[in-house]
Amino acid sequence: METVNHLYKRKIYERMLHWKQTKDGKTALLIKGARRVGKSTIAEEFAKREYASYIVVDFANAPQGVWEAVDNIADLDNFFFQLQFIYKVKLEERNSVVIFDEIQKAPLVRQAIKYMVKDHRYDFIETGSLLSIKKNTQNITLPSEETRLTMYPMDYEEFRWALGDKVTIPLLREAFDRRQSLGDQVTRKLLRDFRLYMLIGGMPQAVSTYLDTNNLSEVDQTKREIIDLYSDDFRKIDPSGKVSRLFRAIPSELSKNASRYQAMSVLGRSAENTDMDELLEDMEDSLCVNFAYHANDPSVGLSLHKDKDRYKMFVGDTGLFITLAFWDKDVTENIIYQKLLSDKLSADLGYVYENMVAQMLKACGNELFYYTWPTASGKHNYEIDFLLSRRNKLCPIEVKSSGYKAHASLDEFCKKFSSDILWRYLVYTKDLKKDGEALLVPVFMTMFL
């Protein structure tokens, strides 16, 4: 079944508007993000609404005439003249925008942005995958005249908007700020709604498929196509297939509940003679993956003491994560779909919630850190799943996939670093409440932490 082309309200739009109003064409706007998060759609929607006219040059599918114009890009008068002929659009000085879609495929155009901005006739928006951008700009001078915005999958509020609900999130914000409990019935209903977001995820195509079909099997198929696309991209930059294997192993690595991602165990002998730093950097740049780094000395500063060799990897979109976790099973056999919807997710599938919390924290602009240390017996480790920095203090977060509200790791961490703690949170699947010093937060409120 063919899906209708839905247009969704996205928060990045306001930041784009801020760029237009404050920069007035003195920089180009570069929107970077993983494939299929909606970069091209939002760029064109913005152009339609905010300018008298616009041209979209899609370098993944540009006519031959565009490439001839690019070859002579030093002559900007001619370049813009040619574009107007090819796309049959009249550009107006200071009231038109040119969108360079998939800019990574045209490094010469990227290099020329400096001169286009200086020329100041039109505004310019570039979109692309950061990974490919980096790979295709090794021999060019990158423009400093760029304002860069990162676009993520739809966050939970954007997902609610897509479903026609503009009320829930502001009410939740109010309840969180007042530390007001919601009641068990309301919490259960809100969790049911939220679990649907976990299953579908925030990729616009998957959301559209759900709205059009109301069928999770169809949604799963859409997500598989996106994952295949990611795998193809990874193979282009790493023909050995190692990056692709590292990506596909994320669910199984998280399920081990180990204190780090074991890249060597995933790659085996092929990890030898591999520049792991470069592979991991490529994965991070792809924005398909969220990294959480171990903070070796959380009392001093998280970024200053991050351990590049101890990390956890999460899939950038939890909907994709769930499909990846059961890649070899048909959706009808996918126990996560059934169990998440009926709230019977067993403790050993708790890593799904951990991935979700990572995604939500990242969408709010947080870098991800965690901390582990041995118990007194030395047989086990305590672990703080996520550490946030607020007002030069720490906010430790422990994540539970159930309503179970014991928080030994949280308590021990707060004893160990007592002078550095601002707030402490247990993220779980029950109502908002206080438990001693800890605030127990339903998972759908993670965005307010």
Residues 54 and 100 both lie in one domain: yes
Residue 231 token pair: 């795998």
Sheet with 425-428, strands from edge to edge, namely 386-390, 393-399, 425-428, 438-442, 433-435
Residues 286 and 229 both lie in one domain: yes
Residues 73 and 196 both lie in one domain: no
Residues 117 and 191 both lie in one domain: no
Residue 3 located in a structural domain: no
Residue 7 located in a structural domain: no
The answer to whether 292 touches 367, Cβ cutoff 8 Å, is: no
The answer to whether 285 touches 279, Cβ cutoff 8 Å, is: no
Residue 358 located in a structural domain: yes
Residue 2 located in a structural domain: no
In degrees rounded to 5, what are phi and psi of residue 348? Answer: -75, -5
Residues 140 and 170 both lie in one domain: no
Domain closes at, from 98, 116, 151: 151
Residue 24 located in a structural domain: yes
Residues 332 and 266 both lie in one domain: yes
Residue 4 located in a structural domain: no
Residues 140 and 174 both lie in one domain: no
Helix (H, G, I), strand (E, B), or coil: what is residue 120? Answer: coil
Residues 284 and 198 both lie in one domain: yes
Q: Token pair 């204190």 is at which residue?
A: 259
State residue 115's pLDDT score. 95
The answer to whether 375 touches 413, Cβ cutoff 8 Å, is: no
State residue 133's pLDDT score. 55
Continuous H helices in 24-179: 39-50, 64-71, 76-87, 107-119, 130-135, 156-162, 168-178
Which of 126, 129, 311 has its CA nearest to residue 237? 129
Residues 144 and 166 both lie in one domain: no
Residues 134 and 165 both lie in one domain: no
State residue 348's pLDDT score. 60
The answer to whether 124 touches 20, Cβ cutoff 8 Å, is: no
Residue 174 located in a structural domain: yes
Residues 210 and 125 both lie in one domain: no
Helix (H, G, I), strand (E, B), or coil: what is residue 66? Answer: helix
Domain assignment of residue 41, given as a range: 12-151
State residue 1's pLDDT score. 40
Residues 117 and 185 both lie in one domain: no
Q: Token pair 């609900």 is at which residue?
A: 165
What pTM, to 2 d.p., does this model score? 0.92
State residue 86's pLDDT score. 97
Residue 221 located in a structural domain: yes
State residue 437's pLDDT score. 92
Q: Count structural domains, the chain.
A: 2
**DSSP letters along 265-279, please?**
HHHGGGGTT--HHHH
Domain closes at, from 126, 151, 176: 151
Residue 434 token pair: 């206080």
Residue 86 token pair: 């090819």
Alpha carbons 343 and 191: distance in angstroms, whole number: 9
State residue 3's pLDDT score. 41
pLDDT values of the chain reduced to their tens digit, one per residue, 449 residues: 444 568 899 999 999 999 999 999 999 999 999 989 999 999 999 999 999 999 999 999 999 999 999 999 999 999 999 999 999 999 999 999 999 999 988 989 998 999 999 999 999 999 987 555 556 556 666 677 899 999 999 999 999 999 999 999 999 999 999 999 999 999 999 999 999 999 999 999 999 999 999 988 899 999 999 999 999 888 887 888 899 999 999 998 888 877 788 887 888 877 777 788 888 888 888 899 999 999 998 876 788 888 888 999 999 999 999 999 888 877 655 666 777 777 666 556 678 899 999 999 999 999 999 999 998 887 888 999 999 998 889 999 999 887 677 888 999 999 999 999 999 999 999 999 999 999 999 999 999 99
Helix (H, G, I), strand (E, B), or coil: what is residue 196? Answer: helix
Domain closes at, from 124, 151, 178: 151
State residue 345's pLDDT score. 60
**CATH number of the domain residue 74 falls in:** 3.40.50.300
State residue 2's pLDDT score. 44
